[in-house]
Amino acid sequence: MNDTATMRAIVTHGPHDYRFERVPKPIAGPGEVVIQTGAVGICGSDVKCFTGASLFWGDGNSGGYVEGPVITGHEFAGVVESLGEGSAEKFGIELGDNVIAEQILPCGMCRYCLEGSYWMCEPNEIFGFKRGRAEGGMAEFALLPSNALVHKIDPRLSEIESAYLEPLSCAIHAVDRAEIMPGDIVVIAGVGSIGLCMLQWAKQFRPGILVAVGTRPNRLDLASALGADIVINAREQDPVAAVRGYSSGYGADIVIEASGSADGPQQVLEMVRKMGTVVAFSSIKERTRIDWNLVGDQKELTIRGSHLGPCCYPKAIKAVADGRIDVASLVTALYPLEDFDLAMQAAMSGNGIKTMVVPGMEGRRGEI
């Protein structure tokens, strides 16, 4: 197989076993699109998958979500390199356009898809986890299948900002689920790459007090710069007591849980006021325990889950293009494909915020 028929990619074989390989370059069939990948983000779920979380690999590395070997990566965007028959008309795109596909590939046949809730599709096939059906974007080129949900990106966005649209869309959906009203006391519990996007989107709903809770001073400093009225370092003070102190003892009207910590769910149930709202966003590696009485008998809470970023990609594209959301400042390290191991180490360290892999940046690497 010659080099023009292959491409470089990062292929998932198992926990801690992600390999830099040459694989066949995808070919666009009817209704399909092949893009030249611009950039690919590494998110918290990628880290959990890499480290062997049972959600992805099952117990004893069997029965999990991942079907490998498979090209990893679901936070990616790129330029249209080839179009299959009918795909230009189907998606309203042409060669050279910068595009992104939503992370899920809906089946179109299950009850959720037929009801219009495509993001809850029962097969739940996400780019980067299903061999042959949902290969990811951590490669020079990526195939967007015919059931992909493709969006054309405003040309004002860079390749880095374009790749960030996936986590930003997830953040927008979570905040929209909260239904923030002007004057509400809102807490974003967790100020990682998505929590900092949530913070910026929440600010637009004019909360009375917008609180960011985290454990890393650099991230809390950035949260302040991006619009948080109050930042709380959970390693230095009790965040529950602090939030109650800012709310006349009642607690927050809305808490969005984005910490990824096993202690997070219980903490937010204690932090929210009676008849308040909690949005559960985090993917948590460990099993968690909560006091269920807080939800019903003691507080009569509204609990809302948040999954993916449905119907939010156009909002995300416009918000970044208009300068209302800053994602560029959240990207703290860039690596070429061949340095994926270093990129994953950087993402796992937690020292930065968002680590990205850029297939076209051979010879350049490291912190921005």
Helix (H) or strand (E) holding 346: helix 340-349
30 burial class (0-12, 13-18, 19+ CB within 10 angstroms)? Answer: exposed
pLDDT > 80? residue 3? no
Lowest mean pLDDT, pick from 188-202, 308-322, 354-368: 354-368
204-252 confidence digits (pLDDT tens): 999 999 999 999 999 999 999 999 999 999 999 999 999 999 999 999 9
Whole-number pLDDT of residue 287? 85
- Percentage of the chain beyond pLDDT 70 is 96
Alpha helices for 208-334 (secondary structure H) = 217-225, 239-245, 264-271, 313-321
Nearest Cα residue to 195 out of 228, 217, 163, 156: 228
| Separation in Å, CA 319 to CA 15, 41, 153, 288 | 36, 19, 12, 35
- Percentage of the chain beyond pLDDT 90 is 90
Answer yes or no: are the C-beta atoms of 74 and 89 closer than 8 Å.
Answer: no
Give residue 365's pLDDT band: very low, low, confident or very high (50, 70, 90).
low
The domain 169-305 having CATH identifier 3.40.50.720: the answer here is yes
Nearest Cα residue to 169 out of 309, 280, 320, 319: 309
pLDDT > 70? residue 318? yes
Q: Kindly report the pTM of this predicted structure.
A: 0.95
Domain boundaries, the chain: 3-164+327-367, 169-305
Report the sign of the C-alpha dihedral through residues 187, 193, 194, 200, in that order: positive
Report the sign of the C-alpha dihedral through residues 314, 315, 319, 325, in that order: negative
Average pLDDT of span 57-61: 78
CATH number of 3-164+327-367, picked from 3.30.413.10, 3.90.180.10, 3.90.1720.10, 3.40.50.300: 3.90.180.10
pLDDT > 80? residue 92? yes
3-state DSSP assignment of residue 177: helix
Q: What is the mean pLDDT of the chain?
A: 95
Whole-number pLDDT of residue 286? 82
